[in-house]
Amino acid sequence: MTIKIFNSFKIRVFGLISVLIIAMSLFFTAVVIYQETNLLKQNLVNRGLSIIRSLAHDSELGVFTENHDLLESVLQNSVKLESGIAYAVIYNLRGNPIDFHTNEKTFAPNIAENIKKEIFEKRDPFWQKTMLNKDGIYEFWAPVIASEEFKKEEDIIGFTDVKEPSIPELKPFRTGKKGKIIGVAQIGFSLKEINSHIKNIIFVNVSITILALLIGFIFIYIVANRITEPLLRLKKAVETIEKGRAFERIDIDSRDEIGDLALSFNRMVEALEKKDKEIMHHVEELSALNLVASAVNQSLDLKNILYTALKEIIKVTGMEAGCIYLPSSWDGGDGGDGGDGGDGKTFNIAAYAGLDHKFVNAIDSIKLGEGITGRVAISGESIIVEDISHDPRIARTAVFEEGFKAFASILLHSKENTIGIMNITSRSIHPFTQDEIGLLYSIGNQIGTAIENSMLYERLKRQLEEIERTQEKLIRTARLASLGELAANVAHEVNNPLTAVLSYTCMIMDDMPENHPDKKKLNIIQNETMRIKHIVRNLLDFSRQAEPKMDNASIADVIKDTLNLVAHLAKVSNVRIVEEYTNDLPLVAIDVQQIKQVFLNLFNNAMYAMQNGGDLRIEVSKKEKWVCVNVCDTGAGIPENIIHKIFDPFFTTKPETKGTGLGLSISHGIIEKHGGRINITSKIGKGSVFTVMLPCGQ
């Protein structure tokens, strides 16, 4: 509210003039006060200088003779005749007060060295401002100079022995009155009286200024109101137009510049009213283009782009429904090379809005040349019809059954390539204007470019993912080859002495009585040697991973056979096994024994992770060209900082006596040789999920 008040033109005019008058009044008041104050102070200075001269002159005989009575009489006359004198002092040449009179109890007569120096330099009266009891004092000084007629008397009385104070480079008789300085006169004027006069001056001037300002404010307000009233009417009319309420004219009966301004304003309103409809129409078109551009540029996901763009187009054009066709080989952006796509003869619906599923199924696929959409695909030219109720080019009776009338089939293209066709329709007749047709063409171009960019992005994304998988596979293959060669060498070198150790241990145990104290130790040696032999066997298996012998098999049968091997372990470990298989699972091309080895390893790891029991869930399903197997456990989970290492050879989270760290590495290699993938997701405290993806069999 405060901001609105100060933004008012009337208030600003009133305020500006008021500020100027206030500033001028304050300036002139300050000047008057300053001048009157200076005049009072100057009068005080002139009066003080006059009095000090008279006092110095009248004190000449008294100082010369040091007659206290005479000096007392002179001082009394000076103090009584003049008001405001705080003190008066007569000093001899030695700086000692001969006589003084004061109204101030704390005053102590004294001549400072700088005062003495200035007296003998100037030989004329002078003044300075000082403080006494926190009050301002104008202090006046004057030398008492002996006339020539007192020279002989001076010699007689004995003043010849008194010399002027030694002052460097001082020439006492250079300027000023002739004669010798024989003393100093001092008076002090209190500023209390003059300050009281100054306060009265300020009060009178300020009172006059305030009264003048009040009268001036009333006059200024009247003038400001007469100046701003027509302008405020103009402002109100402009605000009404700005808010879109109406194009109001104003009537100001004035023949001056404001009247001319009102006339020009009315003419402007007429022009604005005429142009407003044209502008709004273009704004709607630009808004539609902007909405569609924003919708298609917010994402590179093809399906999201198509659906979002279609919804915006239906909204801005006032249509009821629509769909977008793409070449069948593109299939939502998963393939194709652009252009006419695939065999160039079929287009499928990739996105739709405002249509029910039954109708979509009836028009899901369009061949080149079929109906209006097929003709657009062949000719490369859009077709727009305000009523298709009896149009012979409609090939699907479902269109008539739905009661659609207004219809626009817009070609979507980028550069020279046909990207697809966009159809929008309504159940009411709609004559499309040239501006609407141009808008649809522009939108079609934007969508076509966005679709092509999305397809290029998807294609590039798949290529990068393939490169990453290939690179990872190459690195892993090289690593496994090196480790395999090392493992084979180590296994062969360890196996021979290990066999000898195991054989001799068994022979010693056979010859040793059962109650022999060392037989328990030999039994430990035998068990640990057998564990080493098992590790060596795993190393050999790792180094001799054979190429899989592929055969079409049921993944469900393989999993069930493997579960039979761990059924007893699951029972004693208090682990509940849950199996979920979708119907019509396809066969997979696998080496059954190797895949059993993979699942056996995953099942054992899952049960080991559930030390206190839990659920082992096996979920088997088909996703596009893959058969997916999820092995889920409810164990402790794998920390995020080591989950990326679990497929590395010899990496294990189990104790040294429980695992070698080769199981998952071997499983990973087997799955990759089958052209599949194995991944893991895990959450601490909730468990892990191993996902095995195998390609469907031919």
**Rounded to 5 degrees, what angle do the CA atoms 480, 666, 605 make?**
140
Q: Read off the pLDDT of residues 617-645 as tens digits, 9 standing for 90 and up.
A: 999 998 888 999 999 999 888 888 887 77
All residues at 6 or more sequence positions from 680 whose CB lies less than 8 Å from its CB, including other chains: 638, 643, 646, 688, 689, 690, 691
Average pLDDT of 264-268?
76
- Position 162 pLDDT exceeds 50: no
Q: Is 351 exposed, middle or buried, given 0-12, 13-18 or 19+ CB atoms closer than 10 A?
A: buried
Given a contact cutoff of 8 angstroms between Cβ atoms, the answer to whether 620 and 585 are in contact is yes
Strand-pairing partners, residue 677, are 693
SS3 for 221? helix
Q: Read off the pLDDT of residues 321-331 as tens digits, 9 standing for 90 and up.
A: 999 888 876 64
Quickly state the pLDDT bin for 689 (edges 50, 70, 90): very high
Query: Can you tell me the distance from the alpha carbon of 400 to that of 403, in angstroms, rounded to the nearest whole number?
Result: 5
Average pLDDT of the chain is: 78
- Position 333 pLDDT exceeds 50: no
Q: How many CB atoms are located within 10 Å of the residue 420 CB? A: 27
Query: Can you tell me the distance from the alpha carbon of 272 to that of 267, in angstroms, rounded to the nearest whole number?
Result: 9
Which tokens hold the place of 649? 């050879």
Quickly state the pLDDT bin for 299 (edges 50, 70, 90): low
- SS3 for 546-559 is CCCCCEEECHHHHH
Query: Can you tell me the distance from the alpha carbon of 668 to that of 142, in angstroms, rounded to the nearest whole number?
Result: 118
- SS3 for 66-105 is CCHHHHHHHHHHHHHHCCCEEEEEEEECCCCEEEEEECCC
Strand-pairing partners, residue 90, are 99, 185
pLDDT on residue 482:
66
Query: Can you tell me the distance from the alpha carbon of 177 to that of 482, in angstroms, rounded to the nearest whole number?
Result: 123
Given a contact cutoff of 8 angstroms between Cβ atoms, the answer to whether 75 and 183 are in contact is no
Q: Read off the pLDDT of residues 379-419 as tens digits, 9 standing for 90 and up.
A: 888 888 888 888 888 888 888 888 888 899 888 877 777 78
Query: How large a percentage of the chain has pLDDT more than 90?
Result: 4
Q: Read off the pLDDT of residues 582-614 as tens digits, 9 standing for 90 and up.
A: 888 889 988 888 888 888 888 988 888 888 889
Q: Is 277 left (phi over 0), alpha (psi -120 to 50) or beta?
A: alpha
Task: Single out the residue of 188, 221, 194 nearest to residue 106, CA to CA.
Answer: 188
Q: Read off the pLDDT of residues 10-38 as tens digits, 9 standing for 90 and up.
A: 666 667 777 887 888 788 888 888 888 88
Strand-pairing partners, residue 140, are 127, 187
- Position 104 pLDDT exceeds 50: yes
- SS3 for 176-194 is CCCCEEEEEEEEEEECHHH
Q: How far is CA 554 from the centre of its chain?
A: 57
Quickly state the pLDDT bin for 84 (edges 50, 70, 90): confident
Q: How far is CA 682 from the centre of its chain?
A: 35
All residues at 6 or more sequence positions from 559 whose CB lies less than 8 Å from its CB, including other chains: 579, 599, 618, 620, 629
Which ranges in 512-579 belong to alpha helices (H)? 519-543, 555-572
Bigger pLDDT: 650 vs 549:
549
Average pLDDT of 510-538?
76
pLDDT on residue 628:
93
Query: Can you tell me the distance from the alpha carbon of 614 to that of 637, in angstroms, rounded to the nearest whole number?
Result: 13
Query: Can you tell me the distance from the alpha carbon of 560 to that of 577, in angstroms, rounded to the nearest whole number?
Result: 11
pLDDT on residue 632:
93
Query: How large a percentage of the chain has pLDDT more than 70?
Result: 78
> How do strand 575-581 and strand 135-146 relate by DSSP bridges?
unpaired
- Position 500 pLDDT exceeds 50: yes
Quickly state the pLDDT bin for 455 (edges 50, 70, 90): confident
pLDDT on residue 471:
76
- Amino acid letter, 217: F
Residue 649 carries which DSSP code? Answer: T
Query: Can you tell me the distance from the alpha carbon of 654 to that of 660, in angstroms, rounded to the nearest whole number?
Result: 8
